[in-house]
Structure 1
């Protein structure tokens, strides 16, 4: 079996892979452009470990049978030729659960305790009086968190929110199938789907928004989720709610969100993803006092490739044994 990785593998990553596939031939080379990816796989391989796929996988990567993405989302791949092939495609869903769930709670806590306002005052060398905060700070305990997209990240967010004493609601494509069928490290998430007090389907998003003080959007970008939350949804949202988006920028209608932030219907937003990235300098989001924004980094952490290779190794064992792969993408749904 020949494995090509378009990222540099450290010795511990190679050891993890060899432990799962002792006879594998591993070729790793950092690829920063599509041309570099195409050149690397042109001699053929069985498996790819990558963020990118070849432009013409059937002819440009002879023998390729399976692509293990290093990203949780597959929208950047399914918009190209991969969608029309029979090559198996799996995502890295599950490896981001801890950092992104922690990021989501950090954003919510920063907003609830107005830490973002204090940081901005610090940069101005301004001492804010504590009395200014008495009427604007809330506890997370006793509040309701609505999670839009109950995958690995949403489930770990739910577990942490429950520990903070929050009531959890969840929306997923099939609200009757509550189990997590993807890759999940032991002890994390909500494998059986027992944490949410109530589940909602896609057609009930206005209902979950009406009941939620905080909203975490963890949807992948697909034809079904583009602008999933728009003007109608913001009109229905609970007044003063705080929205965190760590999925994809395009699942929220950014213009509608900005309007809701300006008129006060939406209390605030914690944003790590945007419709256009980098966020244009002229975007009003930069200067909004009720917005906390970061440059699409919520999943970043030092152990990223360690977790990715653990997942890859689990799938390599399944691949060698002709067993179903974890996190297999269904082109119909886009994830």
Structure 2
């Protein structure tokens, strides 16, 4: 068996991979472009661990299985592997802890007006006005609506419940509540027991009407692009706070900016955007009720440790011809 990783592996990563597939040939080299990936893969391999996939991979190389290092697969399904029969698995689940913590952190920053205090600090302004202090709130007792109840949404729900929030959730199939993907012990909501109520895709406005905070964790697919538009934003509570860590394309950015500018919703914590990097001309940069970060919510020092733990588990399954975790359904786009 030949295994190729397009990121450099640490000794502990190599040991975990080799323990999962004893006797395998393992090659790893950091590849910063799709062309470099193509050069490393050469004629092919049994398993490929990678972020990037060259456009001609399916045509020129024999690859039996691709383990992506990203939670999403839209960047390969819409291009390099469109129509390909190569099994693809994602790294869904390894981002659950950092992104759930980011989401809760963004909500806490908004509730306690930390984002405004930081801006005042830059201006050397001692902000202690009655209006400022009257706007500070608790998240305890508030309702969190989670749009997309995958691994990240489930871990966000677990943390939110610990803060005393009421959790409601929207998912493609509300009746299917079990998480069949990668879920380390003690994390998330594997059995779907935390939400007080589940909503389906046609109930987006309904869940938004009930939510004080909204966490959007949807992937980018043909079914989710512009899932939240002008009509959905109009259904939100005037003081509601929206966090998007899924994909920028799932929210109509122009409509969201207009709603934020007019204070029709309270604020937004945005880590993803329709076009990245976010254009300097975007009005989102200047809005005081927006907390903006450059697509970093999933970053953490242990990223590759978690990724290789998942890869090793899937490698064991691959060797034993058992079902793989996080297998992408091309028809659904994730």
TM bin (shorter chain): over 0.9
Deviations 1:110-151 (A, max 9, x none): 000000000011111111115333321110001000000000
CA distance in 1, matches of 2:269, 2:58: 41
CA distance in 2, matches of 1:58, 1:138: 53
Corresponding residue for 2:147? 148
CA distance in 1, matches of 2:134, 2:174: 37
CA distance in 1, matches of 2:73, 2:213: 27
Instruction: Look up the SS of the partner of 2:159 in the other structure.
Output: helix
Work out whether residues 54 and 61 of structure 1, in 8 Å CA contact, stay in contact via their aligned partners in 2: no
Work out whether residues 16 and 309 of structure 1, in 8 Å CA contact, stay in contact via their aligned partners in 2: yes
Deviations 1:185-238 (A, max 9, x none): 110000000000000000000000000000000000000000100001011112
- Does residue 206 of structure 2 align to residue 207 of structure 1? yes
Instruction: Look up the SS of the partner of 2:82 in the other structure.
Output: helix
Corresponding residue for 1:111? 110
CA distance in 2, matches of 1:162, 1:305: 28
Aligned CA RMSD, in angstroms, stands at 0.9
- Correspondences of 1:1-335 after superposition (within 5 Å): 1-62=1-62, 64-129=63-128, 131-335=130-334
- Shift in Å, 1:265: 1.1
Instruction: Look up the SS of the partner of 1:65 in the other structure.
Output: strand
Equivalenced residue count is: 334
Instruction: Look up the SS of the partner of 1:169 in the other structure.
Output: strand
CA distance in 1, matches of 2:60, 2:245: 33
When the two structures are superposed, what TM-score results if normalisation uses the length of structure 2?
0.99
Structure 1 unpaired stretches of 5+: none
Instruction: Look up the SS of the partner of 1:280 in the other structure.
Output: coil
Q: Which moved more, 1:128-137 or 1:185-194?
A: 128-137
Q: Which moved more, 1:151-160 or 1:15-24?
A: 15-24
- Shift in Å, 1:57: 2.3
Instruction: Look up the SS of the partner of 1:190 in the other structure.
Output: coil
Work out whether residues 53 and 80 of structure 2, in 8 Å CA contact, stay in contact via their aligned partners in 1: no
CA distance in 2, matches of 1:36, 1:6: 9
Deviations 1:227-259 (A, max 9, x none): 100001011112211000000000000001011
CA distance in 2, matches of 1:196, 1:28: 42
CA distance in 1, matches of 2:262, 2:129: 26
- Shift in Å, 1:166: 0.3
When the two structures are superposed, what TM-score results if normalisation uses the length of structure 1?
0.98
CA distance in 2, matches of 1:286, 1:325: 41
Deviations 1:158-197 (A, max 9, x none): 0000000000000000000001010011100000000000
Structure 1 segments of 4 or more deviating over 4 A?
none
CA distance in 1, matches of 2:234, 2:314: 43
